[in-house]
Structure 1
Amino acid sequence: MERSPLAGAGTTHLPFGHIVANEKWRGSQLAQELQGKMKLVFEEGLTPVDFYLSSRSCILYVTEADLVAGNGYRKRLVRVRNSSTLQGIVVVEKTQMSEQYFPAIQKFTVLDLGMVLLPVATQAEASCLIMQLVQEQTKEPSKNPFLTKKRAQISEPCLLRTVQQIPGVGKTKAPLLLQKFPSLQQLSNASIQQLEPVVGPPAAQQIHSFFTQSR
């Protein structure tokens, strides 16, 4: 695998079913959950990246402890945001303990940096979310859409819980959104006009603001 210009390691053509993980995740619950579904390749020196999903896409994982500890995570996010070669997706643990710190990272990630931020409650839920992201990136337009939809259902419960945590959504509107926008990529790219018929104007504005950079 070729070295990434940003981090210590990366890929140009990551084989399907493989994820490159930062060595620091070896033995973690998240790694164990992923290893049952994907082939994990651990490498040292991936800072600031936690997981490479492809040659151009990576995960930056912010734990509950990272949030409580302060703003140390910000440098990592900025490095990836400033890279011309990588799309960084920020996954953050939003728990009862870290919930009070979530608005700050949401503002910094979404409004200041214009990056996608996805909340999870546990590392087990994060593994399902990462699987969903990998599936979205490896879908081929020529595939039968009914088959790809069935394939995406593997991580549907985790995807539903993640969408429920988006401001303005909750348990009632999340299923409606996923019926119309069955993937995170589609939901994050939806316009206010596309969202309004599903959830109404106030919630549509909140969801759109959650995923997009303030202009």
Structure 2
Amino acid sequence: MTTKAHSSVTAGSIVVPYGHVIGNEKWRGSEISQRLQGKIKLIFEDGLGLVDFHLSNKTCIVYISEADLVAGDEFKRRLVRFRNASSLGGIVIVERTQISDQYFLAVQKLVVLELGMVLLPVANQGEASQLIIQLVREQSKDRNSNPFLRKQCSQLAEASVFRTVQQIPGVGKTKALLLLQQFGSIHRLCNASIKELEPVVGQTVAQQIYTFFTLCS
């Protein structure tokens, strides 16, 4: 494939068969692909551009490794290009290790607050493969049966969104659920005042959430 193909975002021409994942050819032989084989049906294709894995026709994964974070800002440009050129639902998986942890807050700000994408941290490729398997299985479920969220929050039933909210300091599973029910989206949560947050999570956590978004703005 040409360099242009690798620097672009695939258009809506990718069709993912039910129960399959389409992986970028560059991941063939990797730990992720080895761990996915036998658990889900993985197909490799060249020319997926900025996308690393297609989970469905509408959802894909962009993977940022520890090496990407340490190497500089190229991964940021890659994410911005993806967001600007794609209408796909992008999930960003980031390797958060002892080495890359110092970069994580900046990545969180860019992905969640500026680009409005879902961010899921993992320790390594093995953990990433387990996460991909979980996401594929959860996408196959009826949203109304999702155990994380109540019926009135069915549009928020994607586990990836739920996990993203849990990355906010002071917020665990229970508070993430309450926040999503109250505010409906990460964007609205980001712009909530302390007074709006307090009835949901209490004064202390409300202040933590507000401070987090203020520092990242």
Give the TM-score taking structure 2 as reference length.
Answer: 0.68
Give the TM-score taking structure 1 as reference length.
Answer: 0.69
Unpaired stretches in structure 2, ≥5 consecutive residues? 1-7, 149-159
Query: Do structure 1's residue 26 and structure 2's residue 31 form an aligned pair?
Result: no
Structure-2 separation of matches of 1:22 and 1:149: 31
Tell me by how many angstroms 1:115 deviates: 1.7
Relative distance call for 1:108 and 1:38 in structure 2 (3 A) is same
- Residue type of the partner of 2:133? M
1:124-179 residue CA offsets vs partner (Å, 9 max, x unmatched): 211122223223333224x6x2xx549xxxxxxxx9xx77982414xxx5353477
Are the aligned partners of 2:178 and 2:200 in contact in 1 as well (CA < 8 Å)?
Answer: no
Partner of 1:168: 169
Structure-1 separation of matches of 2:137 and 2:57: 15
From 71, 74, 77, give the equivalent of 1:75. 77
Paired residue secondary structure (1:82): helix
Are the aligned partners of 1:10 and 1:20 in contact in 2 as well (CA < 8 Å)?
Answer: no
Aligned length: 187
Are the aligned partners of 1:176 and 1:198 in contact in 2 as well (CA < 8 Å)?
Answer: no
Structure-2 separation of matches of 1:36 and 1:125: 16
Structure-1 separation of matches of 2:178 and 2:134: 17
Partner of 1:202: 207
Unpaired stretches in structure 1, ≥5 consecutive residues? 151-158
Structure-2 separation of matches of 1:206 and 1:21: 38
Tell me by how many angstroms 1:194 deviates: 8.0
Are the aligned partners of 1:48 and 1:60 in contact in 2 as well (CA < 8 Å)?
Answer: yes
- Residue type of the partner of 1:202? Q
Tell me by how many angstroms 1:202 deviates: 3.0
Relative distance call for 1:20 and 1:91 in structure 2 (3 A) is same
Partner of 1:154: none
1:55-88 residue CA offsets vs partner (Å, 9 max, x unmatched): 1111000000000001111232122211353121
What are the equivalent positions in structure 2 for 1:25-64 lying under 5 Å apart? 25-64=27-66
Tell me by how many angstroms 1:22 deviates: 0.6
Please report the RMSD computed on the Cα atoms of aligned residues, expressed in angstroms: 3.6
Larger Rg: 2
